[in-house]
Structure 1
Amino acid sequence: MAAPRTDLDSTVDDDAPDAYRDLLGRYARVANLESGAGVLYWDQQVTMPEGGAPARGKQLAALSATTHEKLTNDAMADALDACEGIALDDERAANVREIRRRHERNRSLPEEVVEELTEQQSASQRVWREAKAEDDFDRFAPTLETLRDLHVERAEAIAPDRPAYEVMYEDGEPYLPLERLEEVFEELKAGLVPLIEAIEASGVDLPSPFVAAGPYDDATQRGLSEAVLDVLDYPEDRGRLDVSAHPFTSGNQFDARITTRFKPDDPMDAFTATVHEFGHASYELGLPDARFGEPLGASLSSGVHESQSRFWENHVARTEPFWEGFVGEANDHLGTDATAREAYAAVNQIYPDNLVRVEADELTYHLHIILRCEIDRAFVEGDVGVSEIPALWNEKMADYLGVVPDTDTDGCLQDIHWSSRFAAFQGYTIGSVLAAQLDHAMRADLGDDRVDDLIREGDFDPLWAWMTENVHRHGRRYPTDELVAEATGEPLTAEYFLDYVETKFGDLYDL
């Protein structure tokens, strides 16, 4: 582990003002309830029997209502007011700022809306899985429409004078304006579309020795996933690997669990998914133990979280130095004899005709995201009806990627996200952009050659330590723009991502 561990009870904030201690005690109950709900969600996706869904919805709804009441009640308001005018250092002031932001954002939201939305989200998970398995969008459509309406009702209760979609977006990205995100999207489209076209025109083929040797059973692929987690030093006492329909990470600095899924014909799909989720877990595990239950002990935003998964997936596990050190392990598990260069090329193939976002390559992935964001926003704002989504999806797939899915299972039903939230896909692209910027800053600090040597040798502690020092340990101390500036010395920019992909794929595809 990169970050030193301390006992949770060993750093009690004894010298804090009484009003501040009271506020944090109240907020800790909120955070602990939310953490408990997260375990129930993990169980629902991983181990809960199908028949448990109705009860689980009621359990999660009750927890949400209780959490909401404790966050927004008069006692919390009084505790916040009592901290006004008290001299606080920067970290304590950040805790108060974040608690107030959440309190004020949610105080006008009726408890019954919170409870109803949570129960509907839980029930929709099962409906989505069934609809996807049966390629039946009509089965999911009424649930999707109900969820949209409840999310809009929630957003309008929070901020009746602002567009509902922007309010929803701020759930995941409270400090990065939507307008800035749209500018990044335009920069990416301008840079990625011609790069993808040049790759397609190059005629270069990068066949995968791993695909050629398949298929692989689940046990073989699980063994490979466990092997890379061992190399990355994922701690057994604070994490676990399971299987779910859609890979995800759940937890905190004491218990950060990840899931993956297996594709028989391509073991690199599960491999990269496992490393990706490890990246999310590394963020949780890098948060300060002693701040558990405080905003300073929680992750900042969906985009910053995604930067950690994208860093480990793309800037570590998709690099040639990584495969120079790991290819032997992969060959042992898969029964192959790939060279490091062949493995490196295999995990960096560009295939614009791919239909599924989570299986997409590093470049076309962002066209998948832009497509979803455009449909997402049009649906929330009422410009597109639920029945129009499949056709619109296929139209945008043809426009952006030149391919149309034969089924809704591979089309508009492929993602789990709409069964719980809207205005959330942006974080994936923000994360990729920020990951490249952080990688550039890390290499400036540690040295290009040293970073490559560390990756080649499987010595990842210095990389994890750098991320912990510059990102993880701050929790929510800084708004996003300030955190990026603290870590990299400049505001968020797409420049480093575009430079990185042009250099890497220019080399791979002889551009």
Structure 2
Amino acid sequence: MATTDDSVPAAYEDLLDRYGRATYLGDANGILSWDQEVMMPEGGTPARSKQRGAVSAVAHDILVDDEVADLLDELDGADLSDERRAVVREIRREHERKVRVPTDLVEEISTATAEAHPVWADAREADEFDAFAPTLERLLDLKRRYAEHVDPDADHYATLFADYEPYLDLSTAERVLEELREGLVPLIEAIADSDTEPYAISGTFPESDQLELTHEALSTLGYDFERGRLDTAPHPFSMGTQFDARVTTRFDQSEPLDSLASTIHEFGHANYTLGLPQDAYGSPLGEHRGLTVHESQSRLFENHVGRSEAFWRLFVDRFNAQYDTDLTARQAYEAANRVYDDNCIRVEADELTYHLHIVLRFEIERELVVGDLAVEDVPTVWNDRMDAYLGVRPDGDDEGCLQDIHWSHGSFGYFPTYSLGSVLAAQLYAAAAAEIDDLDSKIEAGEFDALQAWLRENVHEHGRRYRTDELIERATGEPLTAEYFLEYAEEKFGELYDLDR
């Protein structure tokens, strides 16, 4: 086997070069997607869908090329360092999944999702699910065909879920969701029965003021604006690389805390992305470790930092100065953590009922993928389950089954990672707090360096070196468990609502 001068096999260097080129194309496609959702003129879709489809096809062809298979075979059993073995493992997994999928199907999926975005946006604006239904049917068909190619013998939904979380199987997601439902439903019921009413903020808060305050929140947390930016979008999101990680948010003039929470959430995503090793860009070691870990970073900052009393002792003066209010830190903390039993919107949900939103979506999209639910029946089933799980019925499809952007992206199997990430966030934060002296005081003082250093050392800097389960055990000392989240929820909301549990 030929080697380079530093004893790295030439096959490894060649493999990494090919993977890098596919990665760069994928990231360029991400920028095209960001532009489409944030800045592109409405009439640009016909060209953009073709552009994104072509880029996806070229990137796919690079990774499924026979020479990539030959290089992987040549490296099988090679004397490699642990890091390089991890790189080969990750590339092999992607190659083996992608090589089973025809390039024309990849291009068709990419084109269809680009075309779907404006259809979804218009249908949501018009509150007409029927306008989006044919597009949803098309995307479901394409993704079923995709799953069939990847593994004809597997549950199609499990195959799609593995695209977002490769090393925690679907049974783990089902177990965690069941544990959350069993633990949270009685807690939510106890809160509903409580006579305690946490402080609520009311008034009108102009979008310009909210934008200024969310920018201030990002600066307070340490967001690097030289490698990122803040914009608005119909559905908040973050995307990018360790050199350019952008965040978006949206505003409701009656709910200033919603834009703040969603911005801090997206900061957590961008912070993880910016923390990935720069010298490993174009390699699996420079990429995030799946959606569960990514979501853990956003939920950690949104909930364990941004909704903490320590954070509001730090930030309440800035809030008051922006809006000419006179809140105490305790009042702001209470308002940021109210539990709402009448909210239909997932991204505006409180920390507890949020997970019932995820259960609802998980059940519906799984039934759609396996064919147990017809697309035309989605609005009725959605509304019935919203009523059963959360005690509220949407007034229209815009606040029901059309509220999320994910299905227009073809992202079936994505939703469970939100709850898995929340569970992992609590577990990681508990581990960090055990190692960092008086973390709450540091947050109150605006000192985030210790927490950032802990996250960099235990999560960010590893990229995909470890499998998800291995990374969790290395960082926290134990496998993924819902216990930390449930204990945290019981303690936090028990105190807020004066529960005797």
2:171 corresponds to 1:179: yes
2:465 corresponds to 1:477: yes
- What residue in structure 2 maps to residue 190 of structure 1? 182
- What residue in structure 2 maps to residue 492 of structure 1? 480
Q: Which residue, 187, 195, 207 being the options, matches 1:203?
A: 195
2:65 corresponds to 1:65: no
Give the CA deviation at 1:239. 0.6
Q: Which residue, 67, 70, 93 being the options, matches 1:101?
A: 93
After TM superposition, the structure 1 = structure 2 runs for residues 78-477 of structure 1, keeping only pairs within 5 Å, are 78-209=70-201, 212=202, 214-420=203-409, 421-447=411-437, 450-477=438-465
Please tell me the residue identity of whatever aligns with 1:42: W
- What's the CA shift string for 1:45-66, capped at 9, x where partnerless? 1110000011100000000100
- What's the CA shift string for 1:288-329, capped at 9, x where partnerless? 000000001000111110000000000001000111111001
CA distance in 2 between partners of 1:16 and 1:203 (Å): 67
Please tell me the residue identity of whatever aligns with 1:445: E
CA distance in 1 between partners of 2:195 and 2:113 (Å): 46
- What's the CA shift string for 1:440-493, capped at 9, x where partnerless? 10011113xx20011000111211111110001111111111000000000000
Q: Percent identity?
A: 54
Give the CA deviation at 1:236. 1.3
Structure 1: 5+ residue stretches without partners: 1-11
1:15–1:240 CA distance, 2 compared to 1 (3 A) = farther
- What's the CA shift string for 1:95-150, capped at 9, x where partnerless? 00000000001101111100111100001000000000001000000000000000
- What's the CA shift string for 1:375-395, capped at 9, x where partnerless? 000111111100100000011
Please tell me the residue identity of whatever aligns with 1:503: E
Please tell me the residue identity of whatever aligns with 1:353: D
CA distance in 2 between partners of 1:106 and 1:160 (Å): 14
Q: Which residue, 43, 47, 61 being the options, matches 1:51?
A: 43
- The 8 Å contact of residues 199 and 332 in structure 2, kept in 1 or not, is answered as no
Please tell me the residue identity of whatever aligns with 2:231: D
Partner of 1:257, secondary structure, is: strand
CA distance in 2 between partners of 1:26 and 1:85 (Å): 20
Give the CA deviation at 1:15. 5.0
CA distance in 1 between partners of 2:5 and 2:224 (Å): 28
Partner of 1:304, secondary structure, is: helix
1:435–1:13 CA distance, 2 compared to 1 (3 A) = farther
- What's the CA shift string for 1:204-231, capped at 9, x where partnerless? 212323xx2x212211001100111111
Of residues 16-25 and 434-443 in structure 1, the stretch that sits farther from structure 2 once superposed is 16-25
**Aligned alpha-carbon RMSD (Å):** 1.1
Please tell me the residue identity of whatever aligns with 1:41: S
After TM superposition, the structure 1 = structure 2 runs for residues 33-52 of structure 1, keeping only pairs within 5 Å, are 33-52=25-44
CA distance in 2 between partners of 1:183 and 1:410 (Å): 28
- What's the CA shift string for 1:128-176, capped at 9, x where partnerless? 0000000100000000000000000011011111111111010001100
Please tell me the residue identity of whatever aligns with 1:423: G
- The 8 Å contact of residues 245 and 273 in structure 2, kept in 1 or not, is answered as yes
Of residues 239-248 and 157-166 in structure 1, the stretch that sits farther from structure 2 once superposed is 157-166
Please tell me the residue identity of whatever aligns with 2:151: A
Please tell me the residue identity of whatever aligns with 1:134: A
- What residue in structure 2 maps to residue 501 of structure 1? 489
CA distance in 1 between partners of 2:102 and 2:112 (Å): 16
CA distance in 1 between partners of 2:7 and 2:32 (Å): 36
Of residues 182-191 and 483-492 in structure 1, the stretch that sits farther from structure 2 once superposed is 182-191
Please tell me the residue identity of whatever aligns with 1:452: D
CA distance in 1 between partners of 2:281 and 2:70 (Å): 23
CA distance in 1 between partners of 2:72 and 2:452 (Å): 35
1:13–1:374 CA distance, 2 compared to 1 (3 A) = farther
Give the CA deviation at 1:14. 5.1
Partner of 1:496, secondary structure, is: helix
CA distance in 2 between partners of 1:13 and 1:312 (Å): 44
Give the CA deviation at 1:507. 0.4
Structure 2: 5+ residue stretches without partners: none
Partner of 1:409, secondary structure, is: helix
- What's the CA shift string for 1:394-431, capped at 9, x where partnerless? 11011100110110111001000011121110010001
Paired residue total: 495
CA distance in 2 between partners of 1:279 and 1:108 (Å): 34
- The 8 Å contact of residues 436 and 451 in structure 2, kept in 1 or not, is answered as no
Give the CA deviation at 1:13. 10
2:15 corresponds to 1:26: no
CA distance in 1 between partners of 2:6 and 2:369 (Å): 47
Please tell me the residue identity of whatever aligns with 2:52: L
- The 8 Å contact of residues 310 and 443 in structure 2, kept in 1 or not, is answered as yes
CA distance in 2 between partners of 1:139 and 1:282 (Å): 37
Give the CA deviation at 1:17. 2.2
- What residue in structure 2 maps to residue 4 of structure 1? none
CA distance in 2 between partners of 1:90 and 1:231 (Å): 38
CA distance in 2 between partners of 1:26 and 1:394 (Å): 47
CA distance in 2 between partners of 1:230 and 1:166 (Å): 39
